Amino acid sequence: MSNAALGVLFDLDGTLADTAPDLGDALNQLLIQHGRAPLPFHRIRPQASDGSQGMIRLGFRLEPRDAAYETYRQAFIACYAERILRKTRLFPGIPEVLDALEVRGIPWGVVTNKPARLTEPLISGLGLEGRAGCVISGDTTPHRKPHPEPVLQACARLGLAPRQCWLVGDAERDIAAGRAAGTRTLIARFGYIGPGEDPRTWGADGEISHPQALLDWLHEG
């Protein structure tokens, strides 16, 4: 397949950007406000791909069905929005990969479950605004990953069929969404995969342990 027929879609948290430090600081700020002890980062990092839901589950043992959940979630989002770019950086190797994609004329985009009000300042602050061919946030379409609709929307915005695109993510829902949409899928093993997870069961086309390994898959594809 020629380069012109390729596109790459990245998950945001845990694949494109290392957002866990700011997410963790926001959770710990909220815990302290509620008289609770802050959590060590090694416990927070594996939950970072689940965003606010993962943070509230970890810190307060609350699920969306619980009456207090939404109050805590909104408080967390407020804490996070204040520090969204203090420590967050693109993962090492990602800047070089994005440069290489653009040199090769391969369009790329972002598909995240993060709401647009958090995604947009993050994309802008990381210097990616105007570079990404599309940015699909968690509220861009009626459904979020693992539903295929956000991925299908991203492919359409890149002007490519799903079979012409790779989706790269660090969570099972990323791979499920890509598979359901008809893209090829790669697991970002450098992301926020917890010790109890087994990515081998997710059904992806492959795995990468470093962002630059993506370029090898594109060459082979």
Active site residues: 11, 13
Q: How many CB atoms lie within 10 A of CB 66?
A: 14
Torsion of CA 53, 138, 174, 101, to 10 degrees: -130
**Residue 64: Cβ-neighbour burial (10 angstroms; 0-12, 13-18, 19+):** exposed
| Distance between CA atoms of residues 48 and 51, nearest Å | 5
201: which DSSP letter? G
93: which DSSP letter? T
17: which DSSP letter? E
Pairing of strands 206-208, 89-90: unpaired
215: which DSSP letter? H
Nearest partner of 153 among 41, 9, 19, 4, judged by Cα: 9
Tokens at 120, concatenated: 């947009």
